[in-house]
Amino acid sequence: MRETHETAKVVVNEKFSINVVLVGGGRACRFFLGLVRNNLSPVFNINIQGVYDKNPDAEGMLLARQMGICTTDNLQELLAVERLDSVLVLTGKRQVLLEIIRLRPRGVGVLELRGNNIVRKFVAMLNRWRESTVQKLKAEKTLSNLLIRQSATSIVFINTDFTIAYANRAYLDTVKKAKEKVIGAHCYEISHGINTPCSSAFPGVKCPMLETLRTGRDVHVIHDHPGADGQRMYCDLTTYPIKNDDGEVTQVIEFWRDVTVEFSDRWHKKAKEFESNIQKMIQEDRMISLGKLAASVAHEINNPIQGLLTFCGYMQDILAAGTPAEGSLEEFKGHLQLMSRELERVGGIVSGLLSFARESGVEHTHIDANKALEAALSLTRHKMKLANITLTADLCRTPVMVVGDINQLQQCFLNLIFNAVDSMPEGGKLSVASWMDEALEKVWFTIQDTGYGIPEKIRNNLFDPFFTTKDSGKNTGLGLSIVYGVVKNHRGTIKVDSREGEGATFTLTFPVIPDNVRNA
């Protein structure tokens, strides 16, 4: 193994300028500003571009204004400083650190420091050593090493041959390895557990170390690494070059930050937003379907109502003529039974529409999928009759129990039925069937029409959102995409068999609940 070093070697013959802003205007800020004002470093020219604190009267804020440094209580304004190199966080508050990491410009480093007494001790020590340049360099090196060691950010120095020259405690804690195992090892061995550089092992993935060596500039990426516990770990990586007198890169400093939790929180938030948007789309599609049903349902309700009005008028006329005869009373009974049945039928239609239109949350429970199909057929039966479409239904006689949401399945079947009806403008036949294979623990549903079929050139786009072959204004193009989404959400499959001019058959399969689970 190559010779290892405890710290990075930096060749310097002129001052190196770095533009920094400070977050936290308290005591630690005051000490740091005093350090900069005394110009203790012959190597680094630290330019304080601004100081942030909510309290304008904090001691560090007051000193900053005396030194002519811009102060602000607006974090975004602070991070908008031009040519900013680094943000030094002195607050010790994790929420502030996360907000800075979220808002910082690309390529800007973030360094968190804790322990104000450490800064005070080093200010006193540096004051004692400032008599000679050699002592100043020694003080600066000691201070920089302390800052690196105490930083909550994982920091590692890497040689040009990819071997690790130095790693701070935060880095060792992140990779969960002892210092002896890390120093001298190749960076890709520690970070990914591989024996070749990342650029060879993962073609197409940008290696920040290699990019900094190639360009001589800082690079920022987000990589996923294998964690010590076997789980994937997402890391925010920024690399900075260390150059010699000839401008050649001799080492690379790499800053690590574990953003796994942050990524996970963002992912869960996006997943919830996506689920909410899908539910809204389904509800909007239900409203569109309700509009399609309105005309035929109104006609279906109007017929029995007109019959009821006729019977009521007839019975009122008999009663107006005097006491009804025995035969008329028997006739009344027959009329009332018929009127009661018609009212129940109207009530059932209205209840079905209300239940269909009602917005409800997604709830996956044990349901009979046949019930969802039967409800969809009940809502569309009269529409098919008006469109001169003959319906044939052959449904499984035993309950078809699946895990799912009955409202979503009803919408799925309804969209397929509407699609079939629209494909038969001159009338035709619609065949609906369901059957179950208990051995395979699956149920099949088929919806077959005799319409104009689906051209081969558009079959691959059939389930794409907003894709439609209908005239503009007649369809949203969401119907079949919602069908596809509902089927996949219920761990099912959907297949289409069709030839242009010969109708289409949609076949859906869903896993059924085994008897031993259903009866448990």
Distance CA 47, CA 38 (A): 13
**Is the residue at 447 inside a domain?**
yes
| 159 vs 209: CA distance, rounded Å | 10
Residues 30 and 88 in one domain: yes
One domain, residues 110 and 14: yes
Residue 268 belongs to a domain: no
Please state the domain count of the chain. Answer: 4
pTM of the model: 0.39
Of 112, 127, 151, which marks where a domain is finished?
151
Q: In this predicted structure, what is the pLDDT of residue 22?
A: 92
Query: Taking the alpha carbons of 214, 258, 54, 28 in that order, is the dihedral positive or negative?
Result: negative
- What's the number of CA atoms in the CB half-sphere (13 Å) around residue 41? 24
Residue where a domain stops, chosen among 214, 239, 258: 258
Cβ-based neighbours of 133, under 8 Å, separated by 6 or more: 42
Sign of CA dihedral 23, 24, 25, 30: negative
Q: Is the domain of 57 the same as that of 120?
A: yes
Same domain for 354 and 458, yes or no, is no
What is the CATH classification number for the domain harbouring 85? 3.40.50.720
Same domain, 173 and 250: yes
On whether both 301 and 191 belong to a single domain, the answer is: no
Structural domain includes residue 282: no
**Under a CB-based contact definition with an 8 Å cutoff, are residues 375 and 410 in contact?**
yes
What domain range is 502 assigned to?
362-520
Residues 44 and 162 in one domain: no
245 and 309 part of one domain: no
Q: Which of 343, 359, 375 is the C-terminal boundary of a domain?
A: 359
* Contact (Cβ atoms closer than 8 angstroms) between residue 436 and residue 511: no
In a domain, 49, yes or no: yes
Per the listing, tokens 């080093």 go with 122
Q: Are residues 307 and 446 in the same domain?
A: no
Per-residue pLDDT of the chain (520 residues; tens, 9 = 90+): 333 334 343 333 344 567 889 999 988 888 888 878 876 555 457 789 999 999 999 999 999 999 999 999 999 899 988 888 888 888 878 788 888 888 888 778 777 766 544 444 444 444 444 444 444 455 455 445 544 554 567 888 899 999 998 888 888 888 888 889 999 999 888 888 888 888 777 777 788 888 888 898 888 888 776 766 666 777 788 888 888 878 888 888 888 877 776 666 666 666 666 666 666 665 566 566 566 556 556 655 666 676 677 678 777 877 887 777 777 777 777 777 777 776 776 776 666 566 555 555 556 788 999 998 988 888 788 778 888 999 999 999 888 999 988 878 887 888 898 889 888 989 999 999 999 988 888 999 999 999 988 887 777 667 655 445 554 334 433 467 778 878 888 899 999 898 888 899 999 999 998 876 665 5
Contact (CB, 8 A) for 427 and 449: no
Residue 479: predicted pLDDT: 60
The reply to whether 340 falls in a domain is yes
Confirm whether 277 is domain-assigned. no
How far apart CA 32 and CA 85 sit, in angstroms, is 17
263 located within any domain: no
* Structure confidence at residue 52 (pLDDT): 94
Secondary structure element (H or E) that encloses residue 278, with its range: helix 260-320
Listed in order, strand segments (DSSP E) in 218-299 are 219-226, 232-243, 249-258
CATH code at 183? 3.30.450.20
* Token output for 260: 């796994």
Residue 60 and residue 183: Cα distance in Å, rounded? 38
Kindly state whether residue 189 falls inside one of the protein's structural domains: yes
Q: Write down the pLDDT at residue 73.
A: 92
| 7 and 137 assigned to the same domain | yes
CATH of the domain at 424: 3.30.565.10
Domain co-membership, 329 together with 375: no
If asked whether residues 11 and 119 sit together in one domain, one would say yes
